[in-house]
Structure 1
Amino acid sequence: MKLITYLYKNEKKFGLVSENGVVDLTAKIPAKDLKNLIELNLLDRVKQFKNDQPDYKIEEIKLLPVIENPDKIFCAGVNYDDHRLETNRDVTANPTIFFRVAQSQIAHNDPMLIPIESDRLDFEGEIAIVISKEGRRIPEEDAYDYIAGYSIYNDGSVRDYQLHTSQWGPGKNFEATGAFGPWLVTKDEIADGEVLTLETRLNGQVMQKADTNLLLFSIPELIAYCSTFTTLKAGDVIVTGTPGGVGAKRKPPVFMKDGDKIEVEVSKIGILTNPVKQEI
């Protein structure tokens, strides 16, 4: 199933994407939003509406970030070896984890903004997972039981701000730089451990391409590690890392410009597309 958070005539809703449109779940399931639906363990109830007639065409609604209000957004840094090599970093015994704030998120088709403070906005195509239930110190062998589904993330990075110090937070949290969408593909659609292919395209040119079997730290390892130091909650997001090919490490560097189009495609999930605009 493909689940979305969206606006229809300025009313915030959540729904199910079918081949013909969007089934509005807001009045059919007793939940405040998509995050709350996951918290209440109501994903299985959505299945009964899969064959309903759609309430809206996809063109009639405006998508919002898949989970607008996650309690936590964890991001795994340098988690593909080709990206580790291009950034000249050592192999580490544990994942590199940093945080993104929800306020920095945008949706599919929303513009990624080049901030007025910098001209070094870079792309980072990634696969995101959404946590299904609360857990602490989760064993790796149980990790897939804690996944509600999968989505796509573009961890837009303002590189000069990222490198001001050893802490990456500022460069990873400019407003309107974290694209999240277009939807959540529920866990039943993707087998545990299934290899997914990720491709990032800038104006149609392939910039990044990799399979998840090349992750340095697997999805179960990331879940286990993050749940060691904090309790994971339903709706939390783990962004699993970006492959090599980022703009900052190209020769010459390639940063996104006003008028560009950036796409991240992941097999079995879809395509996350965003125009790029200069902040005014």
Structure 2
Amino acid sequence: MISFQYLCRFQTENGEDFFAKCASVKPTIGSSVEAYPTYEDLLNGQNATTATISKLLSPLPQTRSSIYCVGLNYWSHAKEASLNVPANPPVWTKPPAALASPNEIIPISRFCASHLPDWEGELVFVTSRECRDITSEQASEYILGYTIGNDLSCRFFQLPEQSGGQFFYAKAFDKFAPVGPVLVSPSVFAKERTSATLVTRVNGKVKQDTVIEKDMIYSPERVLSWMSQSTTIPAYTVVMTGTPAGVGVFQKPRQLLKDGDQVEVEISGLGTLKNVVRFEEGQDSIM
């Protein structure tokens, strides 16, 4: 079986989807690559063809599963939110329809645009095979690779008086989980992991900036172990591991997303995830 260092998924000009092993975290639009119709074909080195990258897609072997998310996983974010850190990672999910691709314009409905839309740059990992009841020590054997995500959120619906303080409704809207640009193997990311920084920029201005391992509370391995207790986690599940300080709702004054804003999340060794948000139906006065 063929392993990868950098995995990308892309679409050609005529709308066909392919997988390819990339040379870096920056696949070149317009370049021709050795491509495979499915991830299994890539692993087995079969049914290869030459295809030209027209548009990058989220670099995931499959896109049918729920996306897992973790809250309060950075000391700095817990501090800015004035929240106590719990003994175990808070976990919820986004539905498959929340997934969005790198460089994709994110359509924000009037409903969402009017209820405190915000950014959250995050380290993401993807599981390699089904797991259940695994330990933190075993978890690394179940991680296929790492990439970048943006856990877009409508903060209004996280307020206790609105939705009881739960997170799902505020974060589960269509296209509220951009992921990409490439999936990097654990062995490659290991060279950067201990010193990797996460930087989020909105229209070029830095909003979040942290050294992940110094700020993160629950490691990816701890998160996956906790998720899997008495729960079957499917192969190729996307897990967004939380965000550091610097989200818009806690800026003074608040700095929430506006029509046309470009959000860039950059993580050392993983590249940069870029998306523009578009308020296609306008916006009512923010409450």
Give the TM-score normalised by the residue count of structure 1.
Answer: 0.86
Separation in structure 2 between the aligned mates of residue 236 and residue 25 of structure 1, nearest angstrom: 23
Once the two structures are superposed, what CA deviation does each residue of 1:112-134 show, in whole Å capped at 9, x if it has no partner? Answer: 23321133210000010000011
Q: 1:159 to 1:97 in 2, by over 3 A?
A: same
Matched, 1:133 2:122: no
SS at match of 1:191: helix
Q: How far apart are residue 55 of structure 1 and its match?
A: 3.7
Separation in structure 1 between the aligned mates of residue 203 and residue 105 of structure 2, nearest angstrom: 14
Which structure 2 residues correspond to residues 4-83 of structure 1 after superposition, within 5 A? 4-8=8-12, 9-18=14-23, 21=31, 23-26=33-36, 33-34=38-39, 37=40, 43=43, 45=44, 55-56=51-52, 58=53, 61-67=54-60, 69-83=63-77
Which structure 2 residues correspond to residues 97-176 of structure 1 after superposition, within 5 A? 97-117=91-111, 118-119=113-114, 120-163=116-159, 164-165=162-163, 166-176=165-175
Q: Which residue of 2 aligns with 1:184?
A: 183
Worse overlay, 241-250 or 116-125: 116-125
Q: Which residue of 1 aligns with 2:262?
A: 261
Q: Is the Cα contact below 8 Å between 2:260 and 2:277 reproduced in 1?
A: yes
Q: Is the Cα contact below 8 Å between 2:108 and 2:279 reproduced in 1?
A: yes
Give the gaps of 5 or more residues in structure 2.
282-287
Separation in structure 2 between the aligned mates of residue 127 and residue 157 of structure 1, nearest angstrom: 16
Separation in structure 1 between the aligned mates of residue 136 and residue 104 of structure 2, nearest angstrom: 35
Separation in structure 2 between the aligned mates of residue 116 and residue 24 of structure 1, nearest angstrom: 42
Q: How far apart are residue 261 of structure 1 and its match?
A: 0.9
Separation in structure 2 between the aligned mates of residue 105 and residue 135 of structure 1, nearest angstrom: 22
Q: Which residue of 2 aligns with 1:275?
A: 276
Q: Is the Cα contact below 8 Å between 2:128 and 2:236 reproduced in 1?
A: yes
Separation in structure 1 between the aligned mates of residue 182 and residue 80 of structure 2, nearest angstrom: 31
Q: How far apart are residue 3 of structure 1 and its match?
A: 1.2
Q: Is the Cα contact below 8 Å between 2:126 and 2:238 reproduced in 1?
A: yes
Q: 1:243 to 1:22 in 2, by over 3 A?
A: farther
Q: Is the Cα contact below 8 Å between 1:13 and 1:24 reproduced in 2?
A: no
Separation in structure 2 between the aligned mates of residue 53 and residue 103 of structure 1, nearest angstrom: 29
Q: Is the Cα contact below 8 Å between 1:111 and 1:276 reproduced in 2?
A: yes
Separation in structure 1 between the aligned mates of residue 80 and residue 242 of structure 2, nearest angstrom: 14
Q: How far apart are residue 256 of structure 1 and its match?
A: 1.1
SS at match of 2:110: coil
Worse overlay, 258-267 or 106-115: 106-115
Separation in structure 2 between the aligned mates of residue 230 and residue 71 of structure 1, nearest angstrom: 14
Counterpart residue identity of residue 265, structure 1: E
Q: Is the Cα contact below 8 Å between 2:36 and 2:49 reproduced in 1?
A: no
SS at match of 2:228: helix
Separation in structure 1 between the aligned mates of residue 197 and residue 109 of structure 2, nearest angstrom: 30
Q: How far apart are residue 70 of structure 1 and its match?
A: 4.2
SS at match of 1:229: coil
Identity %: 34
Root mean square deviation, CA, Å = 2.4
Q: Is the Cα contact below 8 Å between 2:34 and 2:49 reproduced in 1?
A: no
Q: How far apart are residue 105 of structure 1 and its match?
A: 1.3
Q: How far apart are residue 162 of structure 1 and its match?
A: 3.0
* Pairs aligned (count): 263
SS at match of 2:190: coil
Give the TM-score normalised by the residue count of structure 2.
Answer: 0.84
Q: How far apart are residue 64 of structure 1 and its match?
A: 1.7
Q: How far apart are residue 232 of structure 1 and its match?
A: 1.8
Q: Which residue of 2 aligns with 1:30?
A: none
